[in-house]
Amino acid sequence: MNPELMGPITAAGLEWVECPVCETLDQVETLDRLSDGEVIVRCRRCGLLFLNPHLDAQGLDDHYQPKEIEVDTVWGEPFGARRFNSELYERSGTCRDMRRRIELVRRHVPSGRLLDVGCSIGLMLYEAERAGYQAVGIDISTKLVDYARDVFKVDARLGQFEAVSGEVGSFSAAVIWDVLEHLPYPGHTLSLIGSQLEMGGYVFGQIPNADGLGNRFKTWMSLSGLRRKRWSHFGIPMHIMWFNPRNLGQLLGKCGFEVVEMGAWSHLRKQAKPGLLQRIISYPLERARTTSYFWFVARKIAEPPAHRLVPPRRWSSAPD
């Protein structure tokens, strides 16, 4: 354990965890300390950046729930009106983005049951059902789950996936889009997903890329004290883990998956009609996987290890 990581003997509302890839604290080094007691660390063995300590389960819940994931309008319609303007949606970059995701799934899993972990307002479920999948989604927000049920009439369920995973049955495909970075125990969650997937089934996801060109520059600026809002590019405290393609591949392998495809899409892809200059600048970065986000496709080749199906060790004070 790096002595610099040691904090006060007790730290209310915070918890320490091992590196979820390497399952050890031996190679963890401190990068920066935040004013609320959280610490940005790096595992020297795999390169993962993460918060350690970070807000514990109650602290994360206290942070998320009062905001209830603020949504005011959906394509020009008031959120509370529970109306879906399909015409505006069809012309939007979001529609193009959702259908690109569905096509990615279809390349590997043409049909079957699909699980969406972190389903939000239910758009992925909506598009999946239109494509012929039998889709089930899970999210922690009452507000968003109610919207998904009322407006899109999809099977969206409320709760932490870790708590309800045994109730959703088996699947041939699972989607975990923009979720892993929020999880304090991503190896546990991936293993639970693996336990619900059929052998040979696939998991699809997207997460921020710690090695993306923009993120690497902003990280250097933060460490050098040259960035006024240090680490704001990592979305603290909602984002806890910051992977790159290499260490995410290592984690997937340790949870019973084999990576079959990885790539990158820039935020430009969410625009309905990106300009020529924007495409010229962004698409080479996508090919080099140096955009701010990357996506992955992994196939289940083995059952997840038993020890990863239970929550990992964590401590309410800095461990020895």
pLDDT at 280 over 70: no
Chain segment 132-163, per-residue pLDDT in tens: 999 999 998 888 999 999 999 999 999 989 88
Please tell me the distance from the alpha carbon of residue 212 to that of residue 225, in angstroms, as a whole number.
20
Chain segment 3-38, per-residue pLDDT in tens: 343 333 345 789 999 999 999 999 999 999 998 899
Q: At what angle do helices 93-108 and 123-130 cross, to 10 degrees?
A: 60
pLDDT > 90 in the chain, percent: 61
Location of structure tokens 């959703």: 168
Q: What strands lie across the sheet with 257-263, from one edge to the other?
A: 155-158, 134-139, 113-117, 171-177, 197-208, 293-300, 257-263
Q: Quick one: which of 117, 122, 176, 129 has its CA closest to 146?
A: 122
- Max CA-CA distance within the chain? 58
Chain segment 206-249, per-residue pLDDT in tens: 999 999 988 999 999 999 988 888 899 988 888 999 999 999 99
Chain segment 82-140, per-residue pLDDT in tens: 888 888 899 888 898 899 999 999 999 999 999 999 999 999 999 999 999 999 999 98
Dihedral angle, C-alpha 175, 181, 186, 191, nearest 10 °: 10
| C-beta atoms surrounding 29 within 10 Å | 11
